[in-house]
Amino acid sequence: MRGAFTLIEMIFVIVIAAVLSVGSFKAMQALFVRSAQAKAVGDLTLRSQIVLDQLNALLYNRVPNSVIGYTPGDICEPIAQLSVSRPVLEWLGTMDDDLLQRRYDGFVNMGESNRTTATLATPHIDATLNAATLNLIFSGSLDDGSDESFSACGGAFGWHGQQSRLSFDVAIGTDTIRITDTVQPQFIYEKFYLSDTAYAVARGADVSNLNNCSYDTSLLKDVANTLFLFYNYRPFQGETFCADGGVGNVVVLAEDVSAFRAENVNDAIVLSIDMNRSIRGSHATVHITKQKAVF
């Protein structure tokens, strides 16, 4: 009776074990990649939805006729007239928090206002609002400001060196707003907006001066594919956002953003976001695209 394996038998056993090990590894790797892909799809889907919801909330409280597409280098177009997709979306925000706190109501008492002295009667406005950091903008004859939207890049709100002839410096008193601007409004409407900041959305790849912003970009894995929100700057006072050589603040909306687009469709703003993520340890890449309409 033989009491041991021969050398050839041992070699066969080792070869078979090696083949089984390689097969098992490949199977486990495929399972890992599929699991990582499913996790990435879920994560990117959630994060893209959060970003679009955040932008929806900000854009919902926009001055309607102020939205523009902008290419650094002073190429500016109103959102309703975009000839191509511009890399930067900008708009004036309304002071919605102050409105919700009832520090003003956004309406003028036309009967008690005095056009001669450019004084608007607006009951219950908080006289402590900082008029030095805000401008008054009328809603326009159709409330959405569509009559003036084509002037957004032609000297309406001060975008990128233009005039600010549709947004007005004011002084706030007891139940009154007095227009102190050297340019007086041609028409006075019952409804108005107050704005104290503009907003800009852009990817890092589409701006050239992030070093001008007070933000540590070393914390980001890929600055070019990071979507930023810029705020706390006032074009009606000649300012632009920090990554355009101006002032203000910046926050990160999302990483892994390969494209961001905005267009005007039937008076609604349609936002589109593309997100990509590579799966570690493989050549697989997850890609998702999501859209949201802002009315």
Sequence ranges of the domains in the chain: 42-294
pLDDT averaged over the chain?
Answer: 88
Number of neighbouring beta carbons within 10 Å of residue 186: 8
Lowest mean pLDDT among 122-131, 197-206, 233-242, 280-289: 280-289
pLDDT-derived band of residue 172, with 50, 70 and 90 as boundaries? very high
Percent above pLDDT 70 for the chain: 86
Report, as an integer, the average pLDDT of 237-241. 96
Q: What is the pLDDT of residue 294?
A: 94
pTM of the model: 0.87
Q: For the residues 164-191, what does the mean pLDDT come to?
A: 93
Do 143 and 63 meet the contact criterion of CB atoms below 8 Å apart? no
Nearest by Cα to 135 from 201, 63, 231? 63
Rg (CA), the chain: 28
Q: Are 62 and 93 in contact (CB under 8 A)?
A: yes
Query: Sorting pLDDT into bands at 50, 70 and 90, what band is 145?
Result: low
Q: Across-strand partners of 77?
A: 69
| pLDDT of 2 over the 60 cut | no
For the residues 76-104, what does the mean pLDDT come to? 93
More confident call, 233 vs 268: 233
Q: Residue 158 gets which letter from DSSP?
A: -
Confidence band for 211, pLDDT divided at 50, 70 and 90? confident
Q: For residue 103, what are the CA distances in angstroms to 2, 7, 127, 165, 257?
A: 99, 92, 9, 25, 38
